[in-house]
Amino acid sequence: MANNAFKYNPSINYGFWKDLAQPFFMLAPMADITDTVFRQIISRYSTPDAYFTEFVSCDGLCSAGRQRLLVDLQFSSTERPIVAQFFGARPENFYKSAQLAIELGFDGIDINTGCPDKSIVRQEAGSALMRTPERIPELIAATKEGAGSLPVSVKTRLGYSFIDIEEWLPLIIDAKPALITIHGRTKKEMYKGETHWDSISRCVDMAAGSGVLVAGNGDIENRAHGVLMAKQSGAQGIMIGRASMGNPWIFNIDGCKKDQAQADILKVLLEHADLFEHHYQGVRRYVTMRKHFKAYISDFPGAKLLRKELMQARDSVHTRKIVDEFLSDYDRLPLDTT
């Protein structure tokens, strides 16, 4: 479904965003979740229109700790187009990080102005920038200068303590990023309560005529739901985050997790575990996989018991042993599907 009312602005560098049919679908950046392994698993079973990295500190990339952070910017050829998301508060470091994104072969750069994590807010970055919104255009300008031909986008929320988009969103729109993605909650709300899609629609109206693309984010259940919310809000794009966990089929029109056989879900879980260990052995702890196990295992007999067992998995071999033993005893398992 294309938004025929949208008009591109020749003064904006859209990069690949201009080539996408609307509404386009994006895999959200999620810390310690959407690493390259997770994105590769997604790419094998469905196809978002764009992938985002986990957010990475600009200050860290411009320090002696750069090498450690480069792990978070790894990606494969199957994850295209791929957008590097950066957080920080210093324009000069956004400039340098944008230049690094060119060197690493990214397709776009995104500025995080919405992360509610306390450690990020203490750095006056992420959602803290909504308290001093006049700084955001400076970050956009510096990133554009360093990005060369790469398009620059922004991810944000509806406000810090309350919804006040009329007070600061025009500053971002006037800075002309290619895209603004709005998570439909405030920083104070975190991830609680319903997403304010009516306010996302207001954001779309505010950007109308500017040529800045607007995408909505928050509680999208599947692709069909995203198409509906895009139609109702007028958003040109949809970003899916938490619902993608344990559900690499989420970007398909049909055939999502609920349509998969239990054996197929467990097969993908083991595939994910093997790929994680192969890629990150000695770099990231295997316990990172536990949050993925929780997401994969639900809605079939014995799910609660299997989740409990997988929380003890030491490595991919141990994980496979647990799953094999579960399947061998399947006929005798309790009918607990939670």
The pLDDT assigned to 259 comes to: 85
Query: What does residue 152 show for φ and ψ, rounded to 5 degrees?
Result: -115, 130
Task: Tell me how far apart the alpha carbons of residues 296 and 33 are, in angstroms, rounded to a whole number.
Answer: 13
Residue-by-residue pLDDT tens, the chain, 338 positions: 344 579 999 999 999 999 999 999 999 999 999 999 999 999 999 999 999 999 999 999 999 989 999 999 999 999 999 999 999 999 999 999 999 999 999 999 999 999 999 999 999 999 999 999 999 999 999 999 999 999 999 999 999 999 999 999 999 999 999 999 999 999 999 999 999 999 999 999 999 999 999 999 999 999 999 999 999 999 999 999 999 999 999 999 886 788 888 889 999 999 999 999 999 999 999 999 999 999 999 888 889 999 999 999 999 999 999 999 998 876 555 545 55
Task: Tell me how far apart the alpha carbons of residues 312 and 310 are, in angstroms, rounded to a whole number.
Answer: 5
Q: Which of 166, 90, 84, 173 is nearest to 124 (CA)?
A: 90
Residues 256-273: tens digit of each pLDDT: 788 888 889 999 999 999
Q: What pTM does this model have? A: 0.94
The pLDDT assigned to 192 comes to: 93
The pLDDT assigned to 2 comes to: 40
| Catalytic choice (58, 115, 203, 256) | 115
Residues 205-260: tens digit of each pLDDT: 999 999 999 999 999 999 999 999 999 999 999 999 999 999 999 999 886 788 88
SS3 labels along 2-28: CCCCCCCCCCCCCHHHHHCCCCEEEEC
CB burial string 156-194: b at 16+ within 10 A, e below: bbbbbeebebeebbeebbebbbbbbbbbbbbbebeeeee
> DSSP string spanning 283-321?
TS-GGGGHHHHHHHS-SSTTHHHHHHHHTT--SHHHHHH
Residues 52, 110 contacting (CB under 8 angstroms): yes
Task: Tell me how far apart the alpha carbons of residues 90 and 151 are, in angstroms, rounded to a whole number.
Answer: 19
Residues 214, 203 contacting (CB under 8 angstroms): yes
Task: Tell me how far apart the alpha carbons of residues 190 and 183 are, in angstroms, rounded to a whole number.
Answer: 10
Token duo for residue 81: 């187009």
- Containing 143, the helix (H) or strand (E) segment is helix 136-147
What is the crossing angle of helices 36-45 and 262-280, to 10°? 150
Instruction: Give first-to-last CA distance, the chain, whole Å.
Output: 36
Token duo for residue 32: 């310690």
| Beta pairing, strands 82-87 & 50-52 | parallel
Q: Which of 78, 40, 8, 22 is nearest to 238 (CA)?
A: 22
What 3-state class would DSSP assign to 188? coil
Q: Which residues pair with 152 in a beta bridge?
A: 109
The pLDDT assigned to 302 comes to: 87
User: Does residue 58 have an active-site annotation?
Assistant: no
Report residue 256 CA to chain centroid gap: 18
Q: Which of 30, 153, 23, 20 is nearest to 81 (CA)?
A: 20
The pLDDT assigned to 261 comes to: 87
The pLDDT assigned to 330 comes to: 63
